[in-house]
Structure 1
Amino acid sequence: MVDSLNKNDSVIPALEPTAGLVRKNFLLIFLPILLSMVIVVLSVFTVHVITAREEISRRESDKLYQAQNGFTESLNFAITDLNFLIHSEDMSKFALDPSLENRQRLEHLFSSFAKAKMVFDQVRFIDLNGDERVRVNLVDRVPVASQGQELQNKKHRYYFNDALSLTPGQIFMSRLDLNIEHKKVDVPYKPTIRLVAPVDVGGKRYGIVTVSYLAENFLDRVRRVFASDESTGFLVNAQGAWLIGPRRDLEWSFMFDRSDHFQDLYPRTWTEGVRNILGNTQQATGQFIGSEGVFTLAKVSPPSRVVTTENSDAYWILASRVPLSAWYKDQFFEHIPEASILVLLVFVLGFGSWRLALSRAARQHVDGAYQQRLLDALNESERRNSAVVEASDDVVMTCTATGFIRHANHAAARVFNVPQIDLVGREVSEFMMEPDTISRRQSDGTRKLFERERFETYAVRGTGEGFPAEITLTPIQTEGNTRFSLFIRDITLRRSYEERLKRLANYDPLTGLANRVLILEHLTTALKNSDGPEGPHAVIMGDLDDFRIVNDTLGHVIGDEALKEAAGRIHQQAPPGSLAGRFGGDEFILIVPCFSDRGAAGKVCEAILNAFDRPLVVEGHRLYVGISLGVAFAEGPTDTAASLMQMADTAMYAAKDGGRNTFRTFTKDMHDASARRLAIQTRLAGAHSRGDISLMYQPLIDAKTKRIIGAEALMRWTDAELGSIGPDEFIPVAESTGLIIELGGWALDEACRHAREWRDVIPNFHMAVNLSPVQLIGSDVASSVKSALLKYGLEPKALEIEITEGLLIKDPLEAEVTLNELAEIGVSISIDDFGTGYSSLSYLHRFPFTTLKIDRMFVMDLPHNEGSRSLVTAVLALAQRSNLKVIAEGVEDQEQAQWLTEQGCDILQGYLFSKPLLLDAFSALLDNRDTTDDGKTASSKGQPALKLV
């Protein structure tokens, strides 16, 4: 073939390539280059824009920080000055003795103060009747004391009434506005903030001191910070009224009944920036970029010592604005030199691409001539290799474009069971079960072969027998005509192997049900076709209840046979069109079409539950096995097969939690609960190391003396992301993950440490600590208790261990051993929430309890609910006969406390006396003691009485 080409090289026509071919090659070369350049230019420009915006953000944030610090610093100085005045010796003397001498001393103090500071327009002392007793005005920078008729009554001024209600140490601050005298705004304007604080001497209130702080100084300071051509600075109050505005005529307009506000000029920034960014009280800064410009925002709140009312500004907004239009224009002109160079580069690359296109077109033209000679050589090669074709085990045919057979090898006669000579001249479509898979009929009735490379179909032998075949069809251009080579292979054996592999890949070998792979594929397809006549599909997940016991007691051989029997029952209840599968282990799944009737899934669940009412009979064993089912429906296009199965699995576990051998339908609450539990479990892992876990202490009150005799230590958790999480949420998670052993050990150690300190205040003080069943059974809790008592030198009787009866039900033998060990140490043991579960009298005789705790659910209805009275009376009588102390928790009113005391209850606990307190608050409560009749503190008799505030 090569020799043939070499002989004909000299006859290849030397024709010039066509203009169309040149243009095509030019576009193929130049367009990608041009597109790449455009992308690079846009990327560089975008990076430049982003960098410039970041520079704006940094610069303006620095300005706001300076202005915000200046604002806050000025207010703090003013508050410090006011505190100096109300606590001064001259102020106290005048409050106690308003004599002329003391008045003059106070006027002198106010005058000296105003002259030294030069920022207070007015300093006044107003008595409880609202009368100004001393007033000093700053007139032309000189302090002047007002006398006689110049003094006014301010009883009806808002700041007077607001300040009188303050507690000692609190300060009231008015709005930032203009000073008003005689119902008119002072001219020139005096931006003013009134700071007011009560005057208390010896625990008695004598009046208030008010200072009018001139805010112009720090307003000018804010203006100076923004004094540049690059940005404009604003200051507005919480309502958007201008304090520092874009124009002086807008400032303080709200004082003259005009509605000029920030949101009037910049509505989008107000709505999407100020409200959305700074509306959250946890966020004090932010930035908003929009068509109105780049706004950098900061919230300035009053100092923490200040009390605000409806007559105060809740906060102020500092804002800077940088317009974008001028900046974009500058960027454009800045890059003109680079743009000129880029245009020149485009022309150079275009010229080079054109020259390269000419060269490539010429080469393609020559290659086309060689291709023609190559086809001729291939025809010759085909004739030479016909012997090889005849020897092939696969069918090899040559056909015309219309599908007529021109040549067929010996294998064709053998495979189709037709003599070789009879194959020639017949249409190849005659030997296909579906003729259109290989050729299509044209308008004149003839068939034309499809130009497909490789496909599979079913062929037909001359006897009428069909078989699967793989067909490879290759077009060949010969002397201007198109012919086709067909390679046909009998793939019957391969299909058999594939079916077996498919069966193994998609079906569970034990039960014959669909496996996980097929389930996922089927459910994915069902979700795509959910708008069809079958409607939405339901996913039913089932798990055999306590099936592990079957494997553990009878072995896995019996267990496998039981699984087969269970799978058969589930499959029998599957309605037409459903798919039943085994998900793994003893979990099964059903995909059920609902046909627009969601109740169909419930009926299937009921049928499955009824099917398991009968025992599984396996090799003479009658196994009573229940099943818990969870149902989930696709609620929208975002649902996936994986998410639906997860929802069904969640609902199934809800069924197990609901008593087993039942079914539950997935709800959003289940998902939220599952997500909440996962979040709690994730955050709880590091909560102790982060210091988020704390102990609170609720007093235990002697019912007769109403004195504190102890406390219950209660674990609390406040997380930075989740907020405050109650013990009813995080304790079960801690128990399931084993974290409760670490947390419980820490709580025991902390409680013992503080109990040792508080016994110095109350000699008979005792601490109650709750222990989890996991601690009592899963750890050496007796050793931990001994170590804690020894570490802090605490007597055993000072510690009381509280347990719930759930431990006694779960593992009574282990509980008995552990509780006896604790009793031998000498600590008290109480049973918590007595009467709410399966409390048995046998507990009181079998276990070494010293105390019973009556649950709050029975206390809350006392003494009016007859049932609660009867139960509590019975518990008290039982405790007295068994020589046990009784604690009533949840006491919230005096009537409950009195009734329980009369009935002989020993200890009271509840919000009537105190809520759970942090360490410092509880220590302060212990120090807050009443005195006895002989003038001595109650602590001198051994125990302090509780003082309620």
Structure 2
Amino acid sequence: MEMLLFVQLLEIATVLVLILVLTMLQRFGGIKYIYNLRIAFIGYFILIVLTMLNLFEEQVVFNSLFKYALLATISVYIYVSFSVGSNKLIHLARFYWMIGILILTPMTLIILEKTDQLEGIGYILLGIVSIFVGFFWMNKVLSHLIPSKIVGVTFILFGLHIMSFIIVQYDEEFLILGYMVVAAFEAIITISLVFLNFNYLKELDDITYSKYINLFNNSSDAILLISNEIIFDCNRRAEEIFERSREDIIGRNPMDISELVQDNGRESYDYGTELFSSASEGKITRFDWIHTSANGRRINCEISLFLLEEGEFAAVIRDMTANYAYEEEINFHKYYDAVTHLPKRELFIDRLARFLDERHNQVALIAFNIDNFKEINDEYGHEAGDELLRQVANKVTSVFKSEVTLTRLGGDEFVAIMDKLIHINRIYLPLERIQSVFNDNFEIQGQQVNLSVCMGVAFPESETTQPMELLKNSDLALNLAKSKGRGRIEFYSKKEKEIFIARINIERDIRIGIESGEFIPYYQPIIQPHSGKIVGIEVLARWIKQDGSMIYPNTFIPIAEETELIKIIGEQILSKACDDFRELLKDNKDFVIHINLSPLQLKDDSIITTLRDVMEKYEITARHLFIELTETVFIDDADHANEILKGIRAMGVGVALDDFGTGYSSLSYLVKMQVDTIKIDRSFVVKLPGDQKSRAMMEYIIGLMHDLGYKVVVEGVEEKDQADYLKSIGCDAIQGYYYHRPMSIEKIRKLLMS
């Protein structure tokens, strides 16, 4: 009996040690199932104590039932704790089934009066569960480690022994042996768990260190480990970013590989000390920093600095140089012109506003552009044009150095701010500087090109003048200069502004008039002087607005030609005139229509195609059509003009030279010009027939034209004696108010029918 008590105490001691080991391993180890075992063995310890004390020996039923309930509870707990990975529904079904069996079993045995077997059944249940835990531990919990397998095998043996021990529990000698074996099993489990946890932690430490090294060396960010502000380790990425070897980085103060002064204006050593102080409080400190590479290259960095332990820090450094460079490029293109690298309008206006606020009486704007830049672009190409713009920007900037702000508003238009004028009269000095740039030739694709420039100048009208208003005024002055020819300089004035605004309004109305069909042909008859018969008409453009008012040609034609809208107007008038006379011409084979074409239309090679298309559309034969042009078409390129006229005449369309004697033609042109008829300007008619010189000039011109094979039409005849005189000297046809004024299609139809 004493021996039995001793071995029971031995098992209690063993289980206590096991519980202590499990508690230590659960707290400091990493195996989650140790916690479950600790709870189970605490329950088992209580059971052993109760068995040893045998508190309820006199109450057999209660004693057996109580121990059965405790063993069953321990078994269910262990089973549930280690039944991982099961489907939840199946797991619950098995759990409740097991509970049901455990409740029904004692009830059945009590009914059958076999309550003394309850304790044995409980131990058998614990044995079965122990075997289950053993197999689970061998297969699931760190199964690759030998101590884990020993734990599993021991649990299996422990379970088998408990089951066999219960079968012969009434044999005292075997009972003593059983307690000793169980204690031995528990000791083996304890020792194995200690070794298992040691191996597990060692393996975990090895794995963690290996992962740390891989992470450290393969990080896309540079990592510096710093102790007392001295670098004691770094990763490969740090070597790449700083362009230094690991040996060259280690041992340095981080400030040694930094700019002396950071972008915020702080000295690196002072600012760095402050950042280390902040990080030493345990905060992760993030900031921008400028490091330098071995060759002095600036490295824009984003740094996260954090405390590892007292006096030791880790700095995670991300190289943002490419990002910053991209952002700078984006910002540069936002505010600076891509071609010339001059400020764009937004930045320019901002500076102009500042100058106006500070010293408006010293400010002036000079707007300038290159004469005929479009032609240069067309001839040499856009790349050459961009290169020319860069040359202009560089040369103008160089003559002013930093004295002015220059911008390119678009195309070839530049504007310079003069912000330090002592007096407005001093504006001629910067104007001369700009002009000096264009006195020298520019090189385009290896060729020397001479350029000229037009300039417009505007001063603030008052201290309240706004930047956009001043810019608009300089642009008005520039446009005025361009309208007066090449190389002109004009100053803004209110009068010129009014004229320019009126011109803009006319241009706008012309565009509206084209869309709404306000441009219509008027017709002035051409008379054969001997018979008095109408042999043709001249088509004249008239602009009748929707309100019924008429705008005369001398008002809109110059603006239409400047804007090249004259081409559209000319085509509309041509089509309308041919449509108006389509039926009238069928019964009159000798009747001709004189259509005025502008120099712009005749420079366009497509005019021949346009004429042919219109004649086909309205069924007009070539002999009924005459094209009138002025001498200005021969000024720029007489050969090209004659080629166009030759093509027109080849179709059978006649050509008349209008306003002869008022243009720039020399007599040598008369031999070369591809024309059929000469129309003498009214300026030769005004003093006829009384003025002897006028008569001599008229007789000479008509005689010369006839000798050259041209027919002659005299315009501007307003008096009977003028008509009679021209008839007497052999004029072929007469046109003027004496016979008829220009009229609408309705009136000309009535006239022709009468």
> TM-score under structure 1 normalisation?
0.41
CA–CA distance in structure 2, aligned partners of residues 553 and 778 of structure 1: 16
Q: Is 1:590 the counterpart of 2:427 in the alignment?
A: no
Is this contact kept in 2: 1:630–1:649, CA < 8 A? yes
Residue 854 to residue 537, structure 1, CA distance change in 2 (3 Å) = farther
Tell me which residue corresponds to 1:768: 594
Q: Is 1:521 the counterpart of 2:350 in the alignment?
A: yes
CA–CA distance in structure 1, aligned partners of residues 662 and 635 of structure 2: 13
Look up the equivalent residue of 2:681 and give its one-letter code.
D
Residue 820 to residue 602, structure 1, CA distance change in 2 (3 Å) = same
Q: How far 1:736 moved relative to its partner?
A: 6.8
Structure-to-structure mapping, 1:569-580, within 5 angstroms: 569-574=395-400, 578-580=404-406
Q: Deviations over 1:145-171 (max 9, x none)?
A: xxxxxxxxxxxxxxxxxxxxxxxxxxx
Q: Which runs of 5+ in 1 are unaligned?
A: 1-389, 394-413, 418-432, 434-455, 474-484, 929-949
Residue 769 to residue 548, structure 1, CA distance change in 2 (3 Å) = closer
Structure-to-structure mapping, 1:844-855, within 5 angstroms: 844-855=670-681
Is this contact kept in 2: 1:755–1:798, CA < 8 A? no
CA–CA distance in structure 1, aligned partners of residues 407 and 711 of structure 2: 58
CA–CA distance in structure 1, aligned partners of residues 648 and 707 of structure 2: 23
Question: What is the DSSP-based 3-state SS (H/G/I as helix, E as strand, rest coil) of the residue aligned with 1:879?
Answer: helix
**Counterpart among 613, 616, 620 of residue 439 in structure 2:** 613
**Counterpart among 536, 542, 547 of residue 710 in structure 1:** 536
CA–CA distance in structure 2, aligned partners of residues 563 and 782 of structure 1: 37
Is this contact kept in 2: 1:820–1:847, CA < 8 A? no
Residue 415 to residue 576, structure 1, CA distance change in 2 (3 Å) = same
Residue 862 to residue 761, structure 1, CA distance change in 2 (3 Å) = farther
Where is the strand percentage greater, Structure 1 or Structure 2?
A: 1
Q: Deviations over 1:686-727 (max 9, x none)?
A: 546644232211122334455533221212111236943233
Residue 890 to residue 603, structure 1, CA distance change in 2 (3 Å) = farther
Is this contact kept in 1: 2:514–2:569, CA < 8 A? yes
Residue 598 to residue 783, structure 1, CA distance change in 2 (3 Å) = same
**Counterpart among 864, 870, 889 of residue 715 in structure 2:** 889
Is this contact kept in 1: 2:602–2:641, CA < 8 A? yes
Is this contact kept in 2: 1:574–1:580, CA < 8 A? no
Tell me which residue corresponds to 2:475: 649
Is this contact kept in 1: 2:421–2:427, CA < 8 A? no
Residue 738 to residue 392, structure 1, CA distance change in 2 (3 Å) = farther
Tell me which residue corresponds to 1:664: 490
Tell me which residue corresponds to 1:627: 453
Is this contact kept in 1: 2:519–2:542, CA < 8 A? yes
Look up the equivalent residue of 2:492 and give its one-letter code.
F
Q: How far 1:665 moved relative to its partner?
A: 2.0
Is this contact kept in 2: 1:833–1:854, CA < 8 A? yes
Tell me which residue corresponds to 2:154: none
CA–CA distance in structure 1, aligned partners of residues 391 and 445 of structure 2: 11
Where is the helix percentage greater, Structure 1 or Structure 2?
A: 2
**Counterpart among 908, 917, 925 of residue 743 in structure 2:** 917
**Counterpart among 518, 524, 533 of residue 698 in structure 1:** 524
Q: How far 1:590 moved relative to its partner?
A: 1.0
Is this contact kept in 2: 1:752–1:799, CA < 8 A? no
Q: How far 1:581 moved relative to its partner?
A: 3.3
Look up the equivalent residue of 2:345 and give its one-letter code.
R
Q: Deviations over 1:742-764 (max 9, x none)?
A: 65445334434554655699774
Q: Deviations over 1:405-437 (max 9, x none)?
A: xxxxxxxxx9999xxxxxxxxxxxxxxx9xxxx
Residue 617 to residue 866, structure 1, CA distance change in 2 (3 Å) = farther
Tell me which residue corresponds to 1:601: 427
CA–CA distance in structure 2, aligned partners of residues 717 and 673 of structure 1: 20
Is this contact kept in 2: 1:699–1:710, CA < 8 A? yes
Q: How far 1:850 moved relative to its partner?
A: 1.5
Residue 802 to residue 868, structure 1, CA distance change in 2 (3 Å) = same
Structure-to-structure mapping, 1:87-106, within 5 angstroms: none
Is this contact kept in 1: 2:560–2:566, CA < 8 A? yes
Q: Deviations over 1:285-313 (max 9, x none)?
A: xxxxxxxxxxxxxxxxxxxxxxxxxxxxx
CA–CA distance in structure 1, aligned partners of residues 334 and 669 of structure 2: 56
Question: What is the DSSP-based 3-state SS (H/G/I as helix, E as strand, rest coil) of the residue aligned with 2:632?
Answer: helix
Q: Deviations over 1:215-254 (max 9, x none)?
A: xxxxxxxxxxxxxxxxxxxxxxxxxxxxxxxxxxxxxxxx
Q: Is 1:877 the counterpart of 2:706 in the alignment?
A: no
CA–CA distance in structure 2, aligned partners of residues 558 and 776 of structure 1: 29
Is this contact kept in 2: 1:573–1:604, CA < 8 A? no
Question: What is the DSSP-based 3-state SS (H/G/I as helix, E as strand, rest coil) of the residue aligned with 1:612?
Answer: helix
Look up the equivalent residue of 1:656 and give its one-letter code.
K
Residue 621 to residue 788, structure 1, CA distance change in 2 (3 Å) = closer
Q: Deviations over 1:260-286 (max 9, x none)?
A: xxxxxxxxxxxxxxxxxxxxxxxxxxx
How well do the aligned residues superpose, as a CA RMSD in angstroms?
5.0
Look up the equivalent residue of 2:354 and give its one-letter code.
T
Tell me which residue corresponds to 1:373: none
CA–CA distance in structure 2, aligned partners of residues 694 and 553 of structure 1: 37
CA–CA distance in structure 2, aligned partners of residues 752 and 617 of structure 1: 50
Tell me which residue corresponds to 1:830: 656
Q: How far 1:914 moved relative to its partner?
A: 2.6
For these two proteins, the number of residue pairs brought into alignment is: 467
Structure-to-structure mapping, 1:216-365, within 5 angstroms: none
CA–CA distance in structure 2, aligned partners of residues 654 and 754 of structure 1: 40
Tell me which residue corresponds to 2:733: 907
Look up the equivalent residue of 2:734 and give its one-letter code.
L
Tell me which residue corresponds to 1:90: none
Q: Deviations over 1:157-204 (max 9, x none)?
A: xxxxxxxxxxxxxxxxxxxxxxxxxxxxxxxxxxxxxxxxxxxxxxxx
CA–CA distance in structure 1, aligned partners of residues 446 and 581 of structure 2: 63
Q: How far 1:769 moved relative to its partner?
A: 1.8
Task: Answer with 1 or 2: which has the greater Rg.
Answer: 2
Look up the equivalent residue of 1:661 and give its one-letter code.
G
Is this contact kept in 2: 1:696–1:715, CA < 8 A? yes
Q: How far 1:775 moved relative to its partner?
A: 4.4
CA–CA distance in structure 2, aligned partners of residues 491 and 605 of structure 1: 47
Question: What is the DSSP-based 3-state SS (H/G/I as helix, E as strand, rest coil) of the residue aligned with 1:535?
Answer: helix
Is this contact kept in 2: 1:755–1:766, CA < 8 A? no
Question: What is the DSSP-based 3-state SS (H/G/I as helix, E as strand, rest coil) of the residue aligned with 2:664?
Answer: coil
Identity %: 31
Residue 877 to residue 549, structure 1, CA distance change in 2 (3 Å) = same
CA–CA distance in structure 2, aligned partners of residues 600 and 489 of structure 1: 51
Residue 669 to residue 768, structure 1, CA distance change in 2 (3 Å) = farther
Residue 688 to residue 869, structure 1, CA distance change in 2 (3 Å) = same
CA–CA distance in structure 2, aligned partners of residues 678 and 771 of structure 1: 24
Residue 825 to residue 562, structure 1, CA distance change in 2 (3 Å) = closer
**Counterpart among 370, 387, 396 of residue 544 in structure 1:** 370
Is this contact kept in 1: 2:361–2:460, CA < 8 A? no
Residue 636 to residue 787, structure 1, CA distance change in 2 (3 Å) = same
CA–CA distance in structure 2, aligned partners of residues 540 and 881 of structure 1: 56
Look up the equivalent residue of 2:350 and give its one-letter code.
E
CA–CA distance in structure 2, aligned partners of residues 561 and 753 of structure 1: 50
CA–CA distance in structure 2, aligned partners of residues 619 and 782 of structure 1: 35
CA–CA distance in structure 2, aligned partners of residues 767 and 903 of structure 1: 25
Residue 906 to residue 520, structure 1, CA distance change in 2 (3 Å) = same
Q: How far 1:577 moved relative to its partner?
A: 5.1
Tell me which residue corresponds to 1:155: none
Is this contact kept in 1: 2:630–2:663, CA < 8 A? no
